[in-house]
Amino acid sequence: MIFDTHAHYDDRQFDSDRNELLNSMQDNGVGAIVNVSAAYESCEHIVHMAQKYPFMYAAVGIHPDEVGSLDEEKFARMKELFKNDKVVAVGEIGLDYYWDNESHELQKEWFIRQLDLARELNLPVNIHSRDAAQDTMEVIKEYGRGLDGIVHCYSYSKEMAKEYVKMGYYIGVGGVVTFKNGKRLKETVETVPLTSIVLETDCPYLAPEPYRGKRNNSSYIKYVAEEIAKQKDVSYEEVVRQTEENAKKLYRL
């Protein structure tokens, strides 16, 4: 069964049909979904959703664009959510220099704090990095060594991907691999072993071809798996099997 390692089903784009859509996932070959928080306000919501759906798990963390809302009291309350057994990771956390909503120093501070939290709790991390390749790598090398995790929505070079894999991280591959202008990610998929790749949607964003530009959902991940199979010259079934095994190993399920 397909394992979607990164989704945002608390997004308002799903308000009209969320329950119906999620209840159709098993029939669409999707066996598990990790619902990932971004803003502080979403952390508790995604944990409640994970409790409602047996096949859903939660990752609790604050996206770099949202770290300005954090303080010690909120961070302490957020940590309480990790007592729930459906919470399987710290995420999504990291650096985003594309939107630059928060200062680079503040982003780094809360990135490191959340990496330390993952180490304290012995949990994997789900890492967001956009236009911040070198700084993300430097932080991971200093504070993230020995942790398990995914570099979500990977967009950098195949050489850097190999460095992450050497450190034990998985490369998150989603809809971009199906795009005509997704050459860099296709090259990464060719280079990185299948044992170091996990599937993700980042839905409702980044829908693969032929749905590019529309609302994404986990049932579309099959197009991602088909493209990976093509790039690596293996069967679709092997991609689904291995990436599911990788995700279960990472999230300890």
Average confidence (pLDDT) over 102-122: 98
CA distance 253 to 3: 11
Picking from 170, 167, 75, 65, the residue whose alpha carbon sits closest to that of residue 120 is 75
pLDDT band (50, 70, 90) for residue 184: very high
pLDDT tens, residue by residue, 224-237: 999 999 999 999 99
Query: In the Cβ-directed half-sphere of 59, how many Cα atoms lie within 13 Å?
Result: 35
Query: What is the model's pLDDT at position 145?
Result: 95
pTM of the model: 0.97
Query: What is the model's pLDDT at position 116?
Result: 98
pLDDT tens, residue by residue, 131-164: 999 999 999 999 999 999 999 999 999 999 999 9
Q: Please name each of the domains of the chain with its CATH number.
A: 2-251 (3.20.20.140)
What's the chain's Rg over C-alpha atoms?
Answer: 17
Average confidence (pLDDT) over 82-105: 97
How is the chain split among helix, strand and coil, in percent rounded to 5? 50, 20, 30
pLDDT band (50, 70, 90) for residue 104: very high
CB 150 within 8 A of CB 124: yes
